[in-house]
Chain A
Amino acid sequence: MLRLIKNLNNIWNKFKDNHKLFWDELEEQMVASDISINTTGKILAEVKKHVYSENINDIEKIKALLKKQIIEILRTNGGGDLKMSPTPPTVFLIVGVNGTGKTTSVAKLANMFKGKSKKVLISAADTYRSAAVEQIQHYAEELDLDIVYHQKFSDPGAVVYDSLEKAKARGIDLVIIDTAGRMQTSYNLMEELKKIKKVIAKKIDREVDEILLVIDSTTGQNARNQAELFNNSLNLTGIILTKIDSTSRGGIVLTIKNDLGIPIKLVTDGEKLDNIHFFDPAGFTESIFS
């Protein structure tokens, strides 16, 4: 698990000598963890309010307050589970900017549900990137899963449509759709995703069960823009935070949850296919202060 705030213990001692210095350094540490300035300000204002109204002088109590604030942000409307539809196939749509780890996350998700004895079909709707289909095909073979793909540069909407047809015919439980990476600022490509979403909704006669945005945990403040713009176009149901085995501290998690209310559902942390876990707010927060 990542440590959101490193070296925090070093600055606790400063509280006794110089309050301003202490708060400044705490703020710095939080910002250094990629938490946005707004979120940092909000958390610290809340903590300070308690500290000064209740005359708290005990470092352990301040730590507890800080933890409580963070857990609260992560927990409200937490919704950690992935929604499985009573009428199969359940459909997960995986989206994100280039290079965040969408395809790998699709494979890991597929592996996770295969382990739960679900019949999974992978829909290779990234028809744009060179060899994207071959990459996901490789995983499908390794996991012995159904996969639907078309030619390069074909219409991703058609791949999705075809996937859902086949899923129904073959009695598939879960369809996971891999899409091409795209910048959140690219109007045309975002419209393409909206269209894919419509194709699915029409085919399964309900909203897409999960629309998950894949975010690289080394991303800075731009992750918030990503979440906001993808959410505006698609109404995201959650976030997959990847590469948390890096040393990045993942503060974006807090900012996205605080500012946009989008829950973090899964984290991935390695090259192996079973390196995927449900996000645990309490454990995450604990690990910050471990």
Chain B
Amino acid sequence: MFDLLTNKFENLFYKIRNKGKLSPNDLDDALREIKLALLEADVNFKVVKEFLENVKTKAIGEKILESLTSYQQVVKIVNEEITRMLGSTSSGVVFAPRGPTIIMTVGLQGTGKTSAVVKLANFLKNKYQKKVSIIAADIYRPAAVLQLEDMAKNIAVDVYSESNSNPVSISVKGTELFRKSGSDVIIIDTAGRLHIDEKMMKEIVDIRSKVNPHQIFLVLDAMTGQEAVNIASTFNQRVECDGIILTKLDSDTRGGAALSVYYVVKKPIKFISNGERIEDFDIFYPDRIASRILGMGDILTLVEKAEKVVSEKEAKKIEEKIYKNELNFEDFIGQLKSIKKMGSLDKIFSMLPIPNKNKIFKKINLDDSYLSRIEAIINSMTVEERRKPHIINGNRKKRIARGSGSSVSEVNKLLVQFSKTKQMMKQFSGQKGKFNFPTGNL
């Protein structure tokens, strides 16, 4: 996810951030980097143009150049604009007030429609306890029906299929049947088609007019390039889509197509699909993908996670201790536990907006078992030892090593690291609120 341009973009923001104040030239530089970042993320060039106009107008309007926190404000504006463009709420599925909700999926070949249909069925079944059924309306691709039936079997969902018939009549018959058998949701899986294939496009128009689906979802490959705009607008013109299912987000794509598509058809991204497993499917959160498109790391998710596990009071207490150089192993283990609650180390790291992340990634080994070993060592200390690490002598080290199943040298290493960390933190806290991530030391 982090290529050269992203690094450039992140570096630029670091440069600006360290200066604090933005000059008009800085703003233009920043906007140019944003433009490149967006284009490299596959955002359509027309969308990029308009987007930058908006950001610039806002930036000037809010007089950020005069502000001391201009960096944060540019990032905020960019993030807000992207989030706004992606639709500010995630709505999921709207169920019909009466009778079964009929959903039709459409899209190009190979976007992952069939997988998305089965995943959606599974999602609705588990989350809303709905009885879901699927209609197999792809009669063209060899073994498509078989694929659907095979996958649906795993989640115990009924599939209606018919050989020697056409997709329109299959859809009509299927909905009738499932209506009678008391399905809450009926999903129609159509064949992949090119948006310029008139005959095939007419087919989904016909299905729509005969079956009257409550919701039509366009399935879009997150790796789609500049053409995403034309694809989405053509499908939307012909069958008026209610939303998008964005697939293959488990790749390293930045997913800019999502932004383009929203911009053009003004229909929300409803769901994302991001893995081979049937559970790899979720409601779409616009704010989450903004930073992914910009390659800034998923700060929002990280902040949210941190907020969940560390209370403000706690953080303040720690900060005070750092300042007074009173940090001890009791605080340390509390911090360790918080970090562990936030998820695996490499996952946390991947969310951080650090320049040259890839390079750093290669150098350090983010191993979660390391945390567990540290925890074990600290747990083997007495309360007194934790509060006053300096009393730990040779005998105490031996006892701690035995108790934690580690070696004296490992205990030594931890003690040295701890005192270094203490020093480092003291230094940072001296800089009054300006916390720089110590990338150089990693």
Identify the A interface with B (CB < 8 A).
28, 31-34, 36-37, 97-101, 128-132, 134-135, 137-139, 183-186, 216, 218-223, 225, 243, 245-249, 251-252, 271
Nearest to A40 among chain B residues (CB) is B39
- Cross-chain contact A130 with B227 (CB below 8 angstroms): no
Q: Name the B residues within 8 Å of A221 (CB-CB).
A: 40-42, 225, 254
B54–chain A nearest beta-carbon distance, Å: 18
Please choose the segment from B104-112, B122-130, B175-183, B297-305 that sits at the chain A interface, where 4 or more of its residues have CB less than 8 A away. B104-112
Query: Which residue from A185, A220, A246 sits with its C-beta under 8 Å from B257?
Result: A220
Cα of A68 to Cα of B389 in the assembled complex, Å? 71
| Known pairs A216-B221, A218-B228 / 16 extra A-B pairs, C-beta < 8 Å | A31-B39, A32-B226, A34-B226, A97-B248, A98-B110, A130-B146, A131-B147, A132-B143, A135-B144, A186-B250, A219-B224, A220-B226, A220-B253, A243-B109, A246-B194, A246-B196
B227 touches A135 (CB 8 A): no
- How many contacting A-B pairs (Cβ < 8 A)? 131
- Cα(A281)–Cα(B207), bound, Å: 41
Are B248 and A98 neighbours in the complex by a CB distance under 8 Å? yes
Partner-A contacts on B (CB < 8 A): 3, 5, 36, 39-42, 44-45, 108-112, 140-144, 146-148, 150-151, 194-196, 221, 223-228, 230-231, 248, 250-254, 256-257, 276
A218 touches B221 (CB 8 A): yes
Residue contacts A-B, CB under 8 angstroms, 15 given: A28-B45, A37-B36, A97-B223, A99-B112, A130-B151, A131-B146, A132-B143, A183-B248, A184-B251, A225-B3, A246-B108, A246-B196, A247-B196, A247-B230, A248-B225
Given A184-B251, A225-B252, verify A135-B142 contact (CB < 8 Å).
Answer: yes
A130 to B, closest residue via Cβ: B150
What is the predominant secondary structure among interface residues of chain B facing chain A?
loop
Contact A248 B147 (CB under 8 A): no
Question: How many angstroms from the CA of A180 to the CA of B108 in the assembled complex?
Answer: 20
Asked if residues A248 and B251 are in contact (CB atoms below 8 Å), the reply is: no
| Bound: A79/B219 CA distance, A | 36
Across-interface contacts of B226 in A (CB, < 8 A):
31-34, 220, 248-249
Q: Is the interface of A mostly helix, strand, loop or mixed?
A: loop
A37 touches B252 (CB 8 A): no
CA distance A138 to B227 in the complex (A): 32
The answer to whether A32 touches B251, judged by C-beta atoms less than 8 angstroms apart, is no
**Residues on B with beta carbons closer than 8 Å to the beta carbon of A249:** 226-227
